[in-house]
């Protein structure tokens, strides 16, 4: 199975600040069709996960442009600029290039 490693596990932030979350995979996430199936989710406290970014860098409908994704191969990053209170929660990366699909362990974004 593809191991997805997220760092850091916990990320203190000040409102209005900028943060980056790393997600590394144990093997390349480039699919045979040429696309890379790496996605980002946010799970706010007490809620279901919600899709933020799909296929590395595409923002899902309604996601503010403060969120951006980048990376390639095995190394990916989610950046959040001008952090707002509604951005707090746990962020997960997901790879769907290889079966079984696997999630990262999560990064908790919390206030300093």
Partner 1 sequence: EVQLVESGGGLVQPGRSLKLSCAASGFTFSNYYMAWVRQAPKKGLEWVATISTSGSRTYYPDSVKGRFTISRDNAKSSLYLQMNSLKSEDTATYYCARQINYGGPGWFAYWGQGTLVTVSS
> Which residues make up the interface to partner 1 (CB under 8 A)?
1, 31, 33, 35, 37, 39, 41, 43, 48-51, 54-55, 60, 92, 94, 96-97, 99-106
Give CA–CA dist 3/50, Å, rounded: 21
Which is nearer to partner 1, 31 or 81 (by Cβ)?
Answer: 31
| Shortest distance in whole angstroms from residue 43 CB to partner 1 | 8
CA quadruple 45, 50, 52, 53: dihedral positive or negative? positive
The residue count for the chain: 112
Which is nearer to partner 1, 29 or 80 (by Cβ)?
Answer: 29
């Amino acid at each position: 199975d593809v191991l997805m490693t997220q760092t850091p596990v916990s990320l203190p932030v000040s409102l209005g600040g900028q943060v980056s979350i790393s997600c590394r995979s144990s093997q390349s996430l480039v699919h045979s069709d040429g696309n890379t199936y790496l996605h980002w989710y946010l799970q706010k406290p007490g809620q279901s996960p919600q899709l933020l970014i799909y296929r590395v860098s595409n923002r899902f409908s309604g996601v503010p442009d403060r969120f951006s994704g980048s990376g390639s191969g095995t190394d990916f990053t989610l950046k959040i600029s001008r952090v707002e209170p509604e951005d707090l929660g746990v962020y997960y990366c997901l790879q769907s290039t290889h079966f079984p699909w696997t999630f990262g362990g999560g990064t908790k974004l919390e206030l300093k």
